[in-house]
Amino acid sequence: MLELRDVKKSYKEPDGGTLPILDIPHFAVKEGEQMVLVGRSGCGKTTLLHTIAGISKADAGKILIDNVDIAGMSEAGVDRVRAKKLGYVFQTFNLLPGFSALENVMLGMTFARGRKDRQRAEQLITRVGLAHRKTHKPAALSVGEQQRVAVARALANKPSILLADEPTANIDPRNQQNIIDLIRETCREEGVSLVLVTHSTEVAGQFERVDKLEDINKIK
């Protein structure tokens, strides 16, 4: 599960001043829960996901992932937690071009420093419907297929939480629903909590819990 307590994050401005972005007294996602985070552009949705993932360090507060506070950890410790406990699906997929679909899935396993479970990677690639294209490089896949690979990669290490940052923004409308369905189904099957950022009201409308960032963030 995920819990944020009094998390604050600001950026330094070129003139030396600080620009506060996040000030979240409390935010929590239960185990296996699927929720959507919405908000206007520039309100700090991506910054919040980066902060949860430890990609950006919070200025203050606690970020508990499975009751372990990563905000107080060393950077190397955060890297390990990110590798093992978190999955990340990007809007631009971010697959590594030199690796095949299957290898991209296994890349996540590499950085978790555990055993590279090829069988699980194959299962995941089959689950996202790309068994026949597992040896293809990203350039040979359609955008929908690339995002499917990204989903499989995010789930490779059996994370507790999957963070998805506008995963359908670059996908044609016909495939958008398929991706959302895939993310939700796989998260359900794996028992993974889901925090999904979207601008789409259609997507948001499918979730029981929809949080508006402006509501949980003191910075307006």
Q: Using the minimum distance from each CB to other proteins, give the nearer residue, 30 or 72.
A: 72
* Residues in contact with 58: Cβ distance below 8 Å, sequence separation at least 6, in sequence order: 7, 8, 9, 22, 51, 71
Of positions 7, 43, 53, 151, contacts other proteins by CB under 8 A = 53
Q: Which stretch binds other proteins (CB under 8 A): 14-22, 33-41, 44-52, 210-218?
A: 44-52
**Alpha carbons 199 and 109: distance in angstroms, whole number:** 31
Task: Please identify which residue in 112, 162, 187, 213 interacts with other proteins, judged by CB under 8 A.
Answer: 112
Q: Give the length of the chain.
A: 220
DSSP classification of residue 84: H
Residue 216 in the binding site for other proteins (CB under 8 A): no
CA 161 to chain CA centroid, Å, is 8
| # of chain residues touching other proteins (CB under 8 A) | 34
> Residue 108 in 3-state DSSP?
helix
88 vs 207, which CB is nearer to other proteins?
88
Q: Tell me how far apart the terminal alpha carbons of the chain are, to the nearest angstrom.
A: 26
When binding is defined by CB under 8 A, the residue of 8, 62, 116, 136 that contacts other proteins is 116
19 binds other proteins (CB under 8 A): no
Q: Quote the least distance from Cβ 183 to other proteins, whole Å.
A: 16
Strand intervals (E) in 102-201: 161-165, 193-197
Q: Please, what is the minimum distance in Å from the beta carbon of residue 208 to other proteins?
A: 26
Question: Residue 132 Cβ, how far from other proteins at the closest point, in Å?
Answer: 22
Q: Is 16 exposed, middle or buried (0-12, 13-18, 19+ CB in 10 A)?
A: exposed
Q: Summarize as ranges the residues that interact with other proteins (CB under 8 A).
A: 46-47, 50, 53, 55-56, 75-76, 79-80, 82-84, 88, 90-92, 94, 96-99, 107-108, 110-113, 116, 153, 157, 165-166, 169
